Chain A
Amino acid sequence: MKTSHAVYIAALAAASALPFVYRDPYHLHLLVLILIWSFAYTSWSIMGRFGLVSLGHGGFMGVGAYVTALLWNHLGVSPWIGIPLAMATAGLLAIVVGYPCFRFRITGHYFVLVTLALSGIVLQVITATRDYTGGSLGYTPNRTKGSQLLALQFDDKVTWYFIALFIWLLGLLVWRAIDRSMARHAMEAISEDEDAAAAAGVNVTAEKLKITVLSALMTALAGALYCQYQMFISPDTVSGISVSLQMVFAAIVGGLYVSLGPTVGAIITILLAETLRIGFGTNAVGWDNLVYGVLLVLFIIFLPQGILGSLTARLKRPTLKSARLKPQR
Chain B
Amino acid sequence: MQAFLDIFDIYLLEAVINGILLGGVLALLALGLNLIFGVIDVTWICYAELVMIGMYGMYYLVQVFGLPYWAAAPLVILLVAAMGAALHYLVIAPLLTAPPINQLLATGGVLFILQSFATVAFGIDFRNLGIRLPVLVLGDMNFSYARLLSFAAALFGMVAVYLFMTRTFTGTAIRAISQDRQIMPLMGVDTRRIYLITSALGGALAGLAACLLVLQYDVHPFVGLSFGPITFLICVLGGLGNFFGGFIASFVFAEIISLGGLFSDLEWGYVLAFAFFIVMMFIRPAGLLARRR
The complex places the Cα of A103 from the Cα of B109 at a distance, in Å, of 30
Contact A110 B240 (CB under 8 A): yes
Cβ of A106 within 8 Å of any chain B Cβ, yes or no, is: yes
Chain A stretch 244-274: residues in CB contact (< 8 A) with chain B? 245, 248-249, 252
Please classify how large the interface on chain A is, using the bins under 10, 10 to 19, 20 to 34, 35 or more: 35 or more
Known: A117-B277, A120-B225, A300-B102. A127 touches B236 (CB 8 A): no
Cβ of A294 within 8 Å of any chain B Cβ, yes or no, is: yes
Q: How near does chain B come to A234, taking the closest CB pair, in angstroms? A: 13
Q: How near does chain A come to B290, taking the closest CB pair, in angstroms? A: 11
Contact B232 A304 (CB under 8 A): no
Known: A104-B281, A116-B229, A304-B102. A289 touches B119 (CB 8 A): yes
Residue of B nearest to A129 (CB): B267
Contact A297 B278 (CB under 8 A): no
Residue of A nearest to B280 (CB): A100
Contact A96 B120 (CB under 8 A): no
Residue of A nearest to B118 (CB): A286
The complex places the Cα of A154 from the Cα of B285 at a distance, in Å, of 48
Question: Which A residues are in CB contact (< 8 Å) with B116?
Answer: 286-290, 292-293
Residue of A nearest to B222 (CB): A236
Contact B109 A249 (CB under 8 A): yes
Contact B274 A297 (CB under 8 A): no
Contact A117 B101 (CB under 8 A): no
Please classify how large the interface on chain B is, using the bins under 10, 10 to 19, 20 to 34, 35 or more: 35 or more
Contact A245 B112 (CB under 8 A): yes
Cβ of B110 within 8 Å of any chain A Cβ, yes or no, is: yes
Residue of B nearest to A96 (CB): B278
The complex places the Cα of A289 from the Cα of B49 at a distance, in Å, of 15
Contact B270 A293 (CB under 8 A): no
Contact A301 B281 (CB under 8 A): no
The complex places the Cα of A129 from the Cα of B117 at a distance, in Å, of 30
Interface on chain A toward B: helix, strand, loop, or mixed SS? helix
Known: A121-B271, A128-B271, A294-B113. A110 touches B229 (CB 8 A): no
Q: How near does chain B come to A124, taking the closest CB pair, in angstroms? A: 5
Cβ of B95 within 8 Å of any chain A Cβ, yes or no, is: yes
Cβ of A114 within 8 Å of any chain B Cβ, yes or no, is: yes
Residue of B nearest to A241 (CB): B225
Q: How near does chain A come to B219, taking the closest CB pair, in angstroms? A: 16
Cβ of A105 within 8 Å of any chain B Cβ, yes or no, is: yes
A83-119 toward B: CB 8 Å interface, digit per residue (1/0)? 0000000000000110011011110111011101110
Cβ of B165 within 8 Å of any chain A Cβ, yes or no, is: no
Contact B112 A300 (CB under 8 A): no
Question: Which B residues are in CB contact (< 8 Å) with A284?
Answer: 120
Contact B45 A124 (CB under 8 A): no
Question: Which B residues are in CB contact (< 8 Å) with A292?
Answer: 112, 116
User: Considering residues A53, A106, A110, A292, which has the most beta carbons from chain B within 10 angstroms of its beta carbon?
Assistant: A110
The complex places the Cα of A171 from the Cα of B99 at a distance, in Å, of 27
User: Considering residues A96, A123, A249, A293, which has the most beta carbons from chain B within 10 angstroms of its beta carbon?
Assistant: A293
Question: Which B residues are in CB contact (< 8 Å) with A249?
Answer: 105, 108-109
User: Considering residues B37, B101, B235, B282, which has the most beta carbons from chain A within 10 angstroms of its beta carbon?
Assistant: B101
Cβ of A296 within 8 Å of any chain B Cβ, yes or no, is: yes
Contacting B105 at CB < 8 Å: which of A103, A127, A285, A300? A300
Cβ of A240 within 8 Å of any chain B Cβ, yes or no, is: yes
Contact B278 A301 (CB under 8 A): no
Residue of B nearest to A244 (CB): B108
Question: Which A residues are in CB contact (< 8 Å) with B225?
Answer: 120, 123, 240-241
Known: A297-B113, A301-B106. A117 touches B232 (CB 8 A): yes
Question: Which B residues are in CB contact (< 8 Å) with A121?
Answer: 229, 270-271, 274
Q: How near does chain B come to A58, taking the closest CB pair, in angstroms? A: 11
Cβ of B91 within 8 Å of any chain A Cβ, yes or no, is: yes
Cβ of B50 within 8 Å of any chain A Cβ, yes or no, is: no
Residue of B nearest to A296 (CB): B109
Contact B109 A297 (CB under 8 A): yes
Contact A297 B101 (CB under 8 A): no
Question: Which A residues are in CB contact (< 8 Å) with B233?
Answer: 113-114, 117
Contacting A113 at CB < 8 Å: which of B109, B113, B232, B270? B232
Cβ of B248 within 8 Å of any chain A Cβ, yes or no, is: no
The complex places the Cα of A121 from the Cα of B235 at a distance, in Å, of 16
Question: Which B residues are in CB contact (< 8 Å) with A105?
Answer: 285
Contact B101 A53 (CB under 8 A): yes
Cβ of A242 within 8 Å of any chain B Cβ, yes or no, is: yes
The complex places the Cα of A285 from the Cα of B104 at a distance, in Å, of 26
The complex places the Cα of A100 from the Cα of B95 at a distance, in Å, of 31
Contact B101 A51 (CB under 8 A): yes
B residues at A contact (CB < 8 Å): 37, 43, 45, 91, 94-95, 98-102, 104-106, 108-113, 115-120, 124, 221, 225, 228-230, 232-233, 235-236, 240, 265, 267-268, 270-271, 274, 277-278, 281-282, 285-286
> Could you jot down 25 A-B contacts, CB within 8 Å?
A100-B278, A104-B285, A106-B285, A109-B100, A113-B233, A113-B236, A113-B240, A114-B277, A116-B45, A117-B229, A118-B274, A120-B225, A121-B274, A124-B270, A128-B267, A242-B112, A245-B108, A285-B124, A286-B119, A286-B120, A286-B221, A294-B113, A296-B109, A300-B98, A301-B94
9 smallest CB-CB distances across A and B, nearest first, come from A104-B285, A120-B229, A286-B119, A293-B112, A128-B267, A289-B116, A293-B113, A297-B109, A286-B120
A residues at B contact (CB < 8 Å): 51, 53, 55, 96-97, 100-101, 103-106, 108-110, 112-114, 116-118, 120-121, 123-125, 127-128, 240-242, 245, 248-249, 252, 284-290, 292-294, 296-297, 300-301, 304
Q: In the complex, given contacts A124-B267, A245-B45, what are 12 additional A-B residue pairs having Cβ atoms less than 8 angstroms apart?
A: A53-B105, A100-B278, A106-B285, A108-B100, A109-B37, A113-B235, A114-B233, A116-B229, A125-B271, A241-B228, A249-B105, A284-B120
